Amino acid sequence: MKPIGPLMWEHRLIEKMLSFFEGATKKITEQNKVDPLFIDTAVDFIRTYADRTHHGKEEDILFRDLVKKQLSQKHARIMEELVEEHTYARNKVGMLVDAKERYLKGENTSREVVALLKELARFYPIHIEKEDKHFFYPCMDYFTKEEQDRMLQEFFELDRKMIHEKYRAVVDRIEAQSVLDS
């Protein structure tokens, strides 16, 4: 298996999660109410799965190894664009968290939340298509079979560590809250 296999499988799950954004935006618009639990779930999914796990594989492993290669100008440019797009998505998710927090404090940010969910649902499929159709396959030609196998092993190791990191953070948050409540 090539390292792009898991990346593309992850894209399918990201797309599936994004498909729920339309229903959420419709409900928010109809009720003029934000569902903080949906926003928290969506943000957790994007930050943990799409960004830390998936983009982590891309930026910290694939791109790290690609910069050591003599990339064509086209592939170097696309890789720069992808990194910028990851930053763009992180910023939009941060804005979504901010809008939800202001909503919880009494500000009506329903329209802002809807706009941000729609923007993320619009952005990610374009980004994913660029990776799947214009970047991943040709970039595998820069690597030997052994290099691809090592990269794939690093991907699996990142996945293994990620679940522990996520739930260690959950426990740390609960612990911090219980200290505050004491």
Residue 179 has pLDDT above 80, yes or no: no
pLDDT tens, position by position, 48-105: 999 999 999 999 999 999 999 999 999 999 999 999 999 999 999 999 999 999 999 9
pLDDT the model gives residue 136: 96
Average predicted confidence (pLDDT) for the chain: 95
DSSP structure string for 30-56: HHT---HHHHHHHHHIIIIIIIIIIIH
Domain-by-domain residue ranges, the chain? Answer: 4-181
Report how far residue 104's alpha carbon sits from residue 15's, in angstroms, rounded to the nearest whole number. Answer: 28
Residue 182 has pLDDT above 90, yes or no: no
Helix H or strand E segment including 4: helix 4-31
pLDDT tens, position by position, 96-145: 999 999 999 999 999 999 999 999 999 999 999 999 999 999 999 999 99
pLDDT the model gives residue 16: 96
Classify domain 4-181 by CATH number: 1.20.120.520
pLDDT the model gives residue 31: 96
Mean pLDDT, rounded, for 21-26: 96
Per the model's pLDDT, the better-predicted residue between 43 and 172 turns out to be 43
The candidate with the shortest Cα–Cα distance to 101, out of 50, 47, 40, 52, is: 40
pLDDT the model gives residue 23: 95
pLDDT tens, position by position, 146-174: 999 999 999 999 999 888 888 888 788 88
Q: How far apart are the first and last CA of the chain?
A: 52
